[in-house]
Amino acid sequence: MTASRAIGIDIGGTGIKGAVVDLDAGTLVSDRHKVATPPGGRPDDILDATVELLSELDDPSGPPLPIGVCFPAIVKRGLTLSAANIDAAWIGLPAERLFEERLGRDIHFINDADAAGIAEERYGAANGADGLVILTTLGTGIGSAFLNDGVLVPNTELGHLEIDGYDAEERAAYSAMERESLSWEEWAKRLQRYYGVVEALFSPDLFIVGGGVSKHHEHFLPLLDLDTPIVPAVHRNNAGILGAASLTRR
C-alpha cells in the first residue's frame, strides 16, 4: 500500500526545514519545523542538524514515514557534485547514502530546485502544462528546473549561465537586489536580460518564478516583456519540502 503521507526535508545554506506532507492534497499536515544550517555547512554538522530536525517530525507512536530530502547541489546517482552555500567537502560525497545511514532509513534525494519544480508540476503552477516549463527560484542564487511535458530533466544550472561577462545569478538573483539596494524597476531590467537570454536559448512554453520573493511578484513580473508567459510559483518556500516528499511516491 502506498503511503499517503511522507516527510519532506529541505536543506539550504541558512536553514534546514521540514514537515509532514499529505501526498494526495500536496499540503503540509504538520507545523513546518526549522533548524539553522550549521556555520560552514560541513557534512557531519549538516547530518547532525538533519537528525535533530527529523526528531521533531517523526511520530514515535506510528510506523516511520518515508523521507524525501532536497539539497543545494547537483545530485547524480546519490552523489553531490557541487556545493552552493555549503562546504566544498560535499563535492563528490555519496550524500544519499550518508543521509540514509544517519537517519536510519532509505530516503529519496534530489537537487533543491528540481524538488521545487516537481512540487509545481504535481501541485502548482505547472500542473497540466504542456511543453517545456522552466522554473527558476530567485534567492541567494538562481536555481532552475526543466519540466518537459511533466517530466523532470534534472540538474539544470541556469543560474550559472554567463551573461554579459557575469555568472547570471551575481546580477539577477534576489540577493543582488538586496546587496546593491536596487529598486524593483532596476532589478526588473536585470531580470529582463536574464529571462530574455534563457528564452532565446530554450524557447520555453512557460516560465514559473519561485523563491520567497515571488510573493511580491506584482512588483516585478509585470515589468518584464517576454514572448513566454511568466507566472509566480504557487508554493514558494514550501516547494522544496513538498517536492522532496512527493518523490517517495513514484
Quick check: 14 pLDDT over 90?
A: no
Torsions phi, psi of 225, nearest 5? -120, 95
Least-confidence region, from 10-14, 40-44, 70-74: 10-14
pTM, rounded to two decimals: 0.92
Q: Round to whole Å and give the CA distance between 5 and 60.
A: 15
Quick check: 124 pLDDT over 60?
A: yes
**Mean per-residue pLDDT for 38-65?**
94
CATH code of the domain made up of 5-114+239-246 = 3.30.420.40
- Grid coordinates representing 161 are 549561465
pLDDT tens digits, one per residue of 72-103:
999 999 999 999 889 999 999 999 999 999 99
Q: Round to whole Å and give the CA distance between 79 and 43.
A: 13
Rounded to the nearest integer, the mean pLDDT of the chain is 95
User: Quick one: CA dihedral 15, 173, 222, 124, positive or negative?
Assistant: negative
Q: Where in the chain is the domain with CATH 3.30.420.40?
A: 5-114+239-246, 128-233
CB atoms within 10 A of CB 144: 24
Burial 192-214 (b: 16+ CB within 10 A, else e): bebbbbbbeeeebbbbbbbbebb
- The CATH superfamily holding the domain 128-233 is ATPase, nucleotide binding domain (3.30.420.40)
